[in-house]
């Protein structure tokens, strides 16, 4: 295991498709199984192998309360529903009034799924197996490799045999094994609890506060409060006013990314707001709406910043002249630090490129190149 494995995990979390929560459920389930230290775990040809049935069980436990919730908790972008949502809903309706989630879990672990719901349950787990293996397992890792199944691989168990009891053991015997490279197994084993949050600093902070309150507070309440940010929205009013006045006085505004003259434009965050929560003047420059939409949460490549450095510094000089005190303070705090000298534009550009390089290569955010 080396640093590249952790960089790849960051890239997967940030760059892989985010159209559904399936990727998160797959990673969470894998980490949970590794931390459970299942006796079914075995190693072969530098890969760690785990029962697919145990992963299906994890997905049942993750999505059951989400499907059962009276408040809609979206899991897919757009109007689409979970592939297995309707079948899981059948299960939650059956257990409603007879113990709910806990009763289902007890049946799955020991008693076995009751006969009236057995057929629906079997349809559900087959659907879950197909969903997991043909969606997140197939596509996870596409941000670092063009190959399908580049990280996860699945080995089917073949035909499923009849069983006296439909329970966790049945799932283990019926759905084969999946595997991941040994270096990913070691990374998840070492830092998995930090990735999914159980040992994360914020979670530990919340647990401490709950205990200190005599358990009057809940972990969810404390985390919600701890995560509050003083900056919660994009604030571009000052920049909009500035560029409107510039257009009126100069008659020309240029798109920072294309260099084209534009009369209508968006105000683009060079480093996306979703990543830095930064509404500084230096970070807000005019861009064509089409390019701004293409860029979205991507990080501009160093080569692109070099290509547009004259236009970036052109706007910085104008901002410096019009809003000197605010601009200087924001630039100093975000980019210059102690480097206050006559050549501040070049120093700031170098620091901007350094920040973009870090966000792309280490944090795993997607690079944007025109």
Domain range annotation of the chain: 3-216, 237-368
pLDDT in tens, 260-316: 998 888 999 999 988 888 888 999 999 999 999 999 999 999 999 999 999 999 999
For residue 7, name the pLDDT band (cuts at 50, 70, 90): confident
H helix runs in the chain, sequence order: 3-15, 22-36, 52-68, 85-95, 100-106, 115-134, 136-139, 168-174, 182-196, 201-212, 219-226, 237-250, 273-276, 289-295, 302-307, 309-322, 324-331, 344-361
pLDDT in tens, 27-83: 999 999 998 878 899 999 999 999 999 999 999 999 999 999 888 888 888 766 899
The pLDDT of residue 100: 94
The Cα–Cα gap between 339 and 35 comes to 47
The pLDDT of residue 63: 94
Average pLDDT of the chain, as a whole number: 88
For residue 229, name the pLDDT band (cuts at 50, 70, 90): low
Q: Is the pLDDT of residue 232 over 70?
A: no
Location of structure tokens 């293409």: 294
pLDDT in tens, 136-179: 999 999 888 889 999 999 999 777 778 889 999 999 999 999 99
Quick one: what percent of the chain has pLDDT higher than 90? Answer: 51
């Amino acid at each position: 295991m080396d640093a590249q494995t952790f960089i790849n995990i960051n890239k997967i979390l940030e760059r892989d498709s985010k159209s559904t929560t399936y990727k998160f459920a797959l990673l969470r389930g894998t980490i949970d199984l590794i931390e459970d230290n299942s006796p079914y775990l075995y190693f072969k040809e530098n890969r760690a192998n785990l029962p697919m049935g145990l992963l299906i069980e994890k997905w049942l436990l993750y999505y059951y309360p989400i499907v059962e919730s009276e408040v809609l908790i979206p899991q897919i972008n757009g109007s689409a529903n979970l592939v297995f949502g309707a079948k899981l809903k059948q299960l939650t309706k059956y257990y409603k009034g007879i113990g709910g989630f806990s009763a289902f879990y007890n049946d799955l672990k020991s008693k076995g799924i009751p006969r009236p719901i057995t057929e629906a349950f079997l349809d559900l787990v087959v659907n879950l197996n197909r969903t997991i293996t043909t969606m997140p397992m197939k596509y996870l890792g596409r941000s670092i490799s063009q190959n399908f199944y580049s990280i996860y691989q699945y080995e089917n168990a073949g035909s499923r045999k009849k069983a006296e009891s439909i329970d966790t053991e049945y799932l283990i015997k019926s759905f084969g094994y999946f595997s991941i490279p040994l270096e990913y197994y070691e990374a998840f084993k070492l830092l998995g609890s930090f990735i999914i949050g159980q040992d994360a600093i914020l979670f530990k902070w919340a647990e401490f506060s709950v205990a200190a309150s005599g358990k009057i507070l809940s972990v969810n309440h404390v985390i919600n409060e701890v995560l509050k940010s003083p900056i919660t929205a994009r604030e571009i009013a000052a920049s909009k006013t500035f560029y409107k006045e510039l257009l009126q006085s100069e008659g020309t505004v240029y798109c920072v990314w294309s260099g084209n003259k534009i009369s209508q434009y968006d105000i683009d965050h060079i480093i996306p707001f979703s990543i830095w929560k930064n509404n500084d003047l230096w970070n807000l420059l005019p861009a064509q709406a089409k390019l701004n939409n293409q860029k979205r949460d991507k990080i501009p490549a160093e080569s692109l910043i070099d290509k547009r450095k004259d236009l970036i510094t052109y706007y910085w000089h104008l901002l410096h002249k019009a809003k000197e005190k605010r601009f200087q303070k924001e630039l100093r705090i975000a980019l210059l630090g102690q480097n206050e000298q006559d050549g501040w534009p070049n120093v700031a550009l170098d620091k901007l490129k350094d920040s973009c390089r870090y966000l792309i290569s280490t944090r795993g955010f997607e690079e944007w190149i025109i």
